[in-house]
Each structure stands twice: as structure tokens, then as C-alpha cells.
Chain A
Amino acid sequence: MSIKVENLTKVYGKQVAVNAINFDIPTGQVVGFLGPNGAGKSTTMKMITGYIPPTSGSGTVCGIDLVEESLEVRKIVGYLPENNPLYLDMYVKEYLEFIAGISGISGNKNIKLAVERAIEMTKLSPERHKKVGQLSKGYRQRVGLAQSLIHEPKVLILDEPTSGLDPIQVVEIRQVIKDLGKDKTVLLSTHIMQEVEAMCDRVIMISKGEIVADDLVINLTKDGKSLEETFRKLANSESHVKHI
């Protein structure tokens, strides 16, 4: 199992953001993490990437414990946070070299190679000599993706990788993610149903901090219903954990 969480819980003050969720993601699967705003998607991702620790429960990435061996987990996880934060006054190459350096890649030659590979994978080449602040939103998103995969992580965690992009950029970024998904485990969050159908093998739906559905995309759509209908029904339903 690439990502495994057991009873993962996060409580902020009195508010339960994530309530004892469980899931297993096998190696090589692309999983869409769906849910309304405030459902706990970002919080779950922050826990998996080691930004915040869980209040209770546990999890592993490729068998490595999230809390006990956070630094080891971070070596094999690539993370694109929500809103794709970037240093706007750095050059694309300069930024990626910096990220490569703090991602545990050592030696100038290795750093240069890693940057080249990331630029190629995200098709950033035409804009590589510009400052990040000069790029269009679509290209900035590619820089964000390049940043997350520079150290060849086994697992990618992408928090709303396509939000705020125009339709053409969305298609391009989807293609990039799809290519990445061929040899990596990907967990991505989104609001857009078509996106899940286009990119993901499996869907985990979360609402009010609890998992309301966890199934393969094929199974969810086989009876002719669109994913969107299923999602709306589940997100509104009061019933709790309801595995389809």
C-alpha cells in the first residue's frame, strides 16, 4: 500500500475537521479526493505530507509512519499545496534549483539534472528563463507541479491542481498529471467531477470530515448515473460512512 491511513482524526479546538477516516491506496493508483469546501480534504493532505500532525489515528506512506518518521516520508512525497504558493521574484530555473536543494538532492550536477527532468515532464521549457511572476497562471501551475515532483517522489499529493485555470490550461495540466500517474501514486483533490472521470481510477468522497464513498470510478458510473448526481446525493445525505 502506498498510502494507508487508520482512524486519522484532526480536531481544531472543538471543531472536528477530519473524523477517523480510513483508506488504503495501492501503488500506482490515481485517486480523486472529492468533497465540498470545508469537508476536510486539505486537512487530510496536510497530515499526510507532515505539515500538521493528526490529533489521533495513524498513517503510513510506503510503510513509513507519518508522525514518527516525518522527514523520511517527506523524501518520498511530492506536495502541491492549495493555491500553489510560489516566490514570484525568482526565476523558474533558480526556484527549481532551490527546491531541488531542499528536497535532499545534493551536488550541482544532480540538481541540474533533476531540474531539467522536472522542466521536461511539465513542459515548462519555453518559459524556463522567465521570472515566476511573469508567467501565466497555467505555467505557474506547471512550476508548482515541477516543484512537487523534482525529487522523483513515489507519491504525489496535489491539492486542487487545476483550480483557477482556463479550460485549455485545465486540459493541459490534466494531461501532465495523467502522464505522472503512470508510474506514481497520486492523490488529488478537486471540485470538478469531469476531472475525476478524466484522470482518476478511484474516488474517495468526503463530507464533514467523514468518508461517504470510496470506490472505483467505473463502479460509481456503471448504472448510467453521472458521478455528479452520486456526489450530490452523498454529500447531502445525513447517513455516515456508507461504502458503495
Chain B
Amino acid sequence: MLSIYKKEVRSFLGSLIAYIVMGVFLVLTGLFLWFVDGNSIFDLGVASLQVMFDISPYILIFLVSAITMKSISDEKRLGTLEIITTKPITDLQIILEKYFAALTLVAFTLILTSFYAYAVYNLALPVGNIDLGSMLGSYLGLFLLAACYAAIGLFSSSLTDNQIVALILSMVLSFFFFTVLGMLGDLEILDKIGRSLNWFSLEFHYNSMSRGVVDTRDLVFFLGFISVFLGGTKLVFESRKWS
């Protein structure tokens, strides 16, 4: 049990990817939060992590894609997929263990920013005067958003044996579902269809969560989104059996 999960986590820690992802995320969000002119907490004068929650979805598109890019594509390139799929373990189990390994790394990266949250908490006047509900909602939203990116990334990785192709595909798909879908939805010519398109964009549900209200519809959307992409990955796995 969990052998693949452990192997994946170990390979993240052994290949520097984990440290790079954590480092880059902390540095970039830190820069925007504390140092960038006009946007930083000191300029805005509001004790909130909103700036970080605004910028993180875009940083994570890149970082989560980097985490998942090799998870299946590399097994295909090496041929080891044939070994693990002929062991007494189901395709779904392989996919889920790989998925949760990526998710663990994402969760850990997000937890590291609690350091910033603590700083903001203490900066507020009086201490602790922050919108805690909104912050927790945003964290949950950010985690679920990253979980969707990870599902997209795993799916992209299953389509190719080239890590770079997987990376680019995953970034394009993530960007599309986060932002582009909403932009299309705003086009006037699409009218009603546009509004439903908007509802399918990740940004819509992410924003809804960061208000601090956890709506079951948003939760269901995120979980459904993840299931669709993991299901897609399973289909790609099974496609070797069709001819």
C-alpha cells in the first residue's frame, strides 16, 4: 500500500523539484506581498493577504505543472509503465497515488505561507484584527484550485512521453480553465451561453470561495472538475487496451 505515493514523494524531495517549487512560490508571493511598490501591504495599508491570493493562481499554474509534468510521461519514456501496470495493482490506484503525492507537495507549499499570515495577523491594528473567514476561505479555495491544476497536470502527463510537452500542455489547459473560459464568457455576442461558460471557469469559483463563504456548489464544482481530469487520465491509461 502507498508504495507509489511514497516513491513519488521521495522523488520530489530527491530531485530538487520540491525545493525549487517551494522556494519560488515563497519568494514570488513574498515579493508581491511585502516589497512591490504600489501593491505591497505597506502601500495598501490593509492587513490582508489578498495580494497573495490574487497572484498565486498564476504562479501556481507554472509550479503545479512543473510538479506533475514527469509523473506519468517519464514512466512512459523509460518503459517502466509496463512494469507497474503488470503488477497486481489497478490503474486507478496508480493514478490516485501519484495524484495525492503531487497534492501533498502543493499542500505543504501553501502551508509554508502561513508564516506570512502570522505576520499579517500581528501587523493588524489591533493585533488579530483581520478577516479570518475570508483568509481561510481563500486558503481552501487556493488549495482546491491547485488540486484542479494537479489533475490537469497529471492528465497532460499521461498524454505524452515528453516532459516539456506535458508541462506546456498542462500550463495552457490550466490557464484556459482558470481565466480564458471566463474571458470568453464575458464576450457580449455569447450572451446567455457566455454566462454559463463563466460558471465553468475556475476563477469564478475561486473568487466565490475567497469571499469566505464556503458554498457547497463551489466544492462540488472543484471535486467534479478533479474527477473529470483524473477520469480522463484513467481513460488514457486504458487506451493501450483498445485497438
Contact = CB atoms under 8 A, between A and B. Distances in A.
B126 interface: no
Interface in A63-93: 71-72, 74-75, 77, 79, 81, 83, 85-90
B192 interface: no
B1 interface: yes
Interface string B1-19: 1111011001100110000
B241 interface: yes
A100 B15 CA distance: 23
Contacts, number: 71
A55 interface: yes
B42 to A, nearest CB: 45
B89 A12 contact: no
A79 B243 contact: no
A55 B88 contact: no
Nearest to B89: A102
Contacts of A77: 86
B122 interface: no
Contacts of B15: 89
Contacts of B90: 71
Contact of A86 (B6, B78, B243): B78
Interface residues of A, number: 35
Most B CB contacts (10 A, CB to CB) among A49, A74, A75, A101 go to A101
Contacts of A72: 88
Interface string B69-105: 0000000001110111111111000000000000000
Contacts of A98: 3-4, 6-7
A147 interface: yes
A102 B80 contact: no
Contacts of A13: 243
Contact of A51 (B11, B85, B243): B85
B240 interface: yes
A83 B79 contact: yes
B230 to A, nearest CB: 19
Main secondary structure of the interface of B (DSSP, over half): helix
Most A CB contacts (10 A, CB to CB) among B7, B79, B241 go to B7
B140 to A, nearest CB: 32
A219 interface: no
A104 interface: yes
Nearest to B240: A52
A103 B87 contact: yes
Interface in A104-150: 104, 106, 147
A74 B84 CA distance: 11
B82 A81 contact: yes
A104 B88 contact: yes
A85 B88 contact: no
B88 A71 contact: yes
A74 B86 contact: yes
B79 A85 contact: yes
Most B CB contacts (10 A, CB to CB) among A55, A102, A103, A147 go to A102
Given A51-B240, A90-B7, 4 more contacts: A52-B241, A71-B90, A85-B83, A102-B87
19 contacts: A12-B243, A51-B85, A51-B240, A74-B87, A74-B88, A81-B82, A85-B79, A87-B80, A89-B11, A89-B14, A98-B3, A98-B6, A99-B83, A101-B2, A101-B6, A102-B88, A102-B89, A103-B88, A104-B87
